[in-house]
Structure 1
């Protein structure tokens, strides 16, 4: 027989267990409904507004998530304060990394994304720059090309019926535009990333084997001073300055874009990332490669400009939701459509149809070519790129001769080649 004390214990258990169980269920439910804020560092000012709209679109279907977008870039250096934030544990949950050397440099901040569903859908070679020891640490943002954006109407009025494929033809086209009363180039060299990142990548891409050339530089078996590709780069910069709007060194990205959009100049040295800034102006524009020499085999410099990465330091809930957001970007129909139509991205994923028209179409056709030239600036350290930008900015300001400029590039390489 059960004693009285045992009966009392059983009765108490029957009374309190349901309430405890209900409380546990309630807590579990609350945890599941807890609002999680995911901070995203967006490095593209061109897509600031539409990216905010895309974040709100995500929030509608994911009511337990808030997306806070911090847009940097343009005039700002989008990596100038990121390391400081990360060092004190206050970095964003999602940010970007350019891959190559930067993958190793930031590895201790990067979450392993190898098991995410989009990995298998990435186009060939797009994940290589962000992969180390067989692990994938970032999702390709998009595919871009860097070259010359031109106004087709102004070219036609100037009598240019064939796109330049050599430097001599480029110079002749600039002369025709000038005679027609149109400024050929809307120069914007205030931001050093154009000079130190994009234009130097073009000169590296001109090498027969860019990686071998870098190795020769590291072994003191080659120099910028004696290199034809970099000599030709300075010649091209000279052409833009001779046939361009004045005050190039103090003209920023936005002013350059305004001059082009308003028809004040026929060309800008930029990439297809400017397409979101051109849409409402209804310009008839195209894109062609920058010809540095007279060989006639010029191509766009193309590739993945950067990768979305997840902050390894973030709390588990934030990391979980950050990964879900990236999966949504890559896999959902609404996000794919938004990126194609609103952000004007060329997708790095096979399942998303590439563009056929506009400057994005031009960039995609160049990217498809097997012998395309890649963004080699990603292969060397950020301090190197910054140094290159400062040196070329001095050249634009006419503070240094060609030879002094090339020699300073040599000095910068020796100083920063092994920089962490």
Structure 2
């Protein structure tokens, strides 16, 4: 089946356009990147030869392609780039902190934005004056800016909802996507009646503790304000009406997945979904490359997630950022590599084609075929329903909370605790971290 090129072509422009609405305006630096190339953040000079820079990165989906890109850079400049990848089932944040605590200072590392970036602000080089900064999608900047300075390069734009197998839905007689939780439940029953396992689940803490929880957080009228109230003890998740509705959604997912969900890691989850074993997976366009390695012709779409009423939503944001370590002696060479990655024809080709990214820079054109059906379906929905594209809000929480949330979700998936116990544990995780 040919990929839906018109849909996918729309996705690049769409994701860039919708980003102007998905970013928050409650952090400094919303205008970062418009500075002229003067002062400390001036455009980077050509790199020195006979040096090595290390990239400590988390995105397992691009690990192999990033290593090939590093080899291209060494061939062109003489600068060696070592890539070390930790992700998937590993706790990247904990491993990065251990790396830094041991006195290792990788030249480039990854960090999320907002509160997730707080532990690294003191070692992040100012990138405001880099030549590429002016081309960033506007809403990608605030999450990685402080005091008017751009302190990282947004990696890309991503979106998620329920990625689903269109052929399996048709096989089960599902002609319309569910708009409510009750309709989702009915669709699940149709899938089961057709002998199809509805959900491909995983026990990964980050999938449940971040993406699943965000479905509830993002559905609040003001997610950042709600999270702030929870941190300050003015509100609780256990007493929140939206969280109680969210439990109904989670129950549908957990009760209708594969039997060995508690022992299924991310790679296995995606690989098995790619073989057509399951109808729905809670991931976004970042899995397109992994899917294509198994079956590039799998007929996929992105289904908005029903939760409150009949306004099902999808969720989009910047997944991570490239941070240049100012404490490294090779910080300028690290800046030069990032500059080359987003301005050279070789680097731009890798970003759009090999990484299969929706770029966070307007100067890089997305590769419609590489992006694939998931992003294309998202684009179509978002163009029609821009008000139902919600943001990513977990990074308003201090590091450590989502890890504890994920652990509690694992217990709930395993049937070890009740729904009330789960919500209580989610609240306790916030207070445990906030009080430290």
Please list the CA deviations of residues 34-70 of structure 1 after superposition, one character each: whole Å capped at 9, or x if unmatched. 41111112211112212212222222222x2111111
- The corresponding residue for 1:228 is 241
Partner of 1:95: helix, strand, or coil?
strand
Given the alignment of the two structures, is residue 286 of structure 1 paired with residue 286 of structure 2, yes or no?
no
Q: Which region of structure 1 is more displaced relative to structure 2, 76-85 or 113-122? A: 76-85
RMSD over aligned CA atoms reads 1.9
SS of residue paired to 1:270: coil
* SS of corresponding position for 2:432: helix
State the structure with bigger RCO (CA 8 A, min sep 6), 1 or 2.
2
Residue aligned with 2:93, SS: coil
Answering whether residue 166 of structure 2 is matched by residue 152 of structure 1, we say yes
Write the distance in 2 (CA, Å) between the matches of 1:371 and 1:126: 19
1:259 to 272, 290, 293: 272
Segments of 5+ residues of structure 2 without an aligned counterpart are 1-46
Residue matched to 1:67: 81
Q: Does the aligned pair in 1 maintain the 2:227–2:396 contact within 8 Å?
A: no
Are residues 1:101 and 2:101 paired? no
Aligned counterparts of 1:33 and 1:208: Cα–Cα separation in 2: 51
How far off its partner does 1:346 sit? 0.7
Mapping 1:269-284, distance limit 5 Å: 269-280=282-293, 281-282=295-296, 283-284=298-299
Partner residue of 2:428 out of 388, 411, 416: 411
CA distance in 1, matches of 2:186, 2:280: 14
CA contact (8 A) 1:89 1:313 kept: no
Q: Does residue 1:36 correspond to 2:51, yes or no?
A: yes
What residue is the counterpart of 2:392 in the other structure?
A: 375
Decide which structure has the larger Cα Rg and report it: 1
* Equivalent residues in 2 for 1:291-370, closer than 5 Å: 291-293=306-308, 295-315=309-329, 318-354=330-366, 357-364=372-379, 369=386
- Give the distance between the partners of 1:366 and 1:328, measured in 2 at CA: 34
Query: Please, what TM-score do these two structures have when normalized by structure 1?
Result: 0.87
Give the secondary structure class of the aligned counterpart of 1:114: coil
Quick check: 1:77 aligned with 2:95? no
Deviations 1:206-231 (A, max 9, x none): 11111121222234332111212222
CA distance in 2, matches of 1:202, 1:118: 33
Hey, what does 1:193 align to over in structure 2?
206
Shift of 1:81: 2.2
State the distance in 2 between where 1:364 and 1:118 align: 25
Contact 1:302–1:366 (Cα < 8 Å) also in 2: no
Higher mean C-alpha deviation, range 296-305 or range 349-358: 349-358
- For the residue of structure 1 that corresponds to 2:416, the secondary structure is coil
Give CA deviations for 1:83-123 in whole Å, capped at 9, x if unaligned: 12213331311111101013332111211111111111111
Equivalent of 2:133, from 112, 119, 128? 119
What displacement does 1:171 show?
1.2
Residues 147 and 290, structure 1, Cα contact 8 Å, conserved in 2? yes
Q: Is the 8 A contact 1:275 1:359 kept in 2?
A: yes
DSSP 3-state at the match of 1:81: helix
> 2: distance between equivalents of 1:76 and 1:219?
30
Q: Deviations over 1:144-201 (max 9, x none)?
A: 1121111111111111111222212211111111111111111112x10111111111
Distance (whole Å) between structure 1 residues aligned to residue 389 and residue 435 of structure 2: 28
CA 1:326–1:365: 2 relative to 1, 3 Å: farther
* Mapped contact 2:60–2:86 kept (Cα < 8 A): yes
* Long gaps (5+) in structure 1: 1-31
1:215 and 1:296 mapped to 2: Cα distance? 27
Judge conservation of contact 1:144–1:363 (CA < 8 Å) in 2.
Answer: no
SS in structure 2 of the partner of residue 348 of structure 1 = coil
Do the aligned residues in 2 keep the contact of 1:302 with 1:363 (CA within 8 Å)? no
1:250 is aligned to 263
- 2:10 maps to what in 1? none
Describe the shift of the 1:367–1:344 C-alpha distance in structure 2 as closer, same or farther (beyond 3 A). farther
* TM-score of the aligned structures, taking structure 2 as reference length: 0.84
2-structure distance, mates of 1:169, 1:54: 45
The answer on whether the counterparts of 2:56 and 2:84 sit within 8 Å (CA) in structure 1 is yes
Q: Does 1:239 align with 2:252?
A: yes
